[in-house]
Amino acid sequence: MASIFSRIVAGEIPSWKVAEDERYYAFLDINPLAEGHTLVIPKKEVDYIFDLDAETYAGLWQFAGRVAKAVREAVPCKRVGVAVLGMEVPHAHIHLVPLQSEADLDFRKEKKQLSPERFAEIAAAIAAAFNKQ
Ligand code: AMP
């Protein structure tokens, strides 16, 4: 069965998309640690990030770097933090989290509650920054 992220890529499940190319897709995390928390995935469905073939793996990080620049431009933050967990969704993904401090990358803390309008606003701002690169 396709992963929830493959179903997002296929358009079967909605997402707050921020960037896409032929091989990669980036969208807002629905339970964000901070405004602008973004997930970057390969469209190719592989569970564990370190099982990706070398080309897809390298391309994923390159694409994530471009998305991180757009996140930083669109969302006020000191840095964009990076995490790879994969404890919940078995489809390789990179978390990009706008940081004001180290504590913002604590996945045990309570997630932000955002309105659909706010998600849409943030996604549009990141997408605009990405598209003008
Ligand atoms: P992990 O697999 O541990 O890296 O966690 C999966 C992440 O995906 C969590 O931060 C979830 O909030 C996020 N997530 C799960 N389903 C969705 C979805 N449909 N849209 C956006 N983010 C999701």
Residue among 7, 17, 27, 30 to mutate when testing ligand 1 (max atoms within 8 A of CB): 30
pLDDT of residue 41: 98
Distance 89 CA to ligand 1 centre (A): 6
Structure confidence at residue 30 (pLDDT): 98
Domain ranges of the chain: 4-127
Confidence of residue 29 (pLDDT cuts 50, 70, 90): very high
84 C-beta closer than 6 A to ligand 1? no
Average pLDDT for 2-24: 97
Residue 67: its pLDDT value, please?
98
* Mean pLDDT, all residues of the chain: 97
The CA 78 to ligand 1 mean position distance, Å, reads 23
Output the CA–CA distances (angstroms, integers) from residue 87 to 62, 84, 92, in the order listed. Answer: 23, 9, 10
CA 47 to ligand 1 center in whole angstroms: 13
* pLDDT tens digit sequence for 40-97: 999 999 999 999 999 999 999 999 999 999 999 999 999 999 999 999 999 999 999 9
Mutate to test the pocket of ligand 1, among 9, 25, 89 (most ligand atoms within 8 A of CB): 89
| pLDDT value for 1 | 81
* H/E segment holding residue 107: none
Q: Find out whether the beta carbon of 29 lies less than 6 Å from any atom of ligand 1.
A: yes
- Three-point CA angle 50, 89, 102, nearest 5°: 75
Domain topology for 4-127: HIT family, subunit A (3.30.428)
pLDDT for res 24: 98
Is residue 93 annotated as part of the catalytic site, yes or no?
Answer: yes
84 sits in which H/E element: none
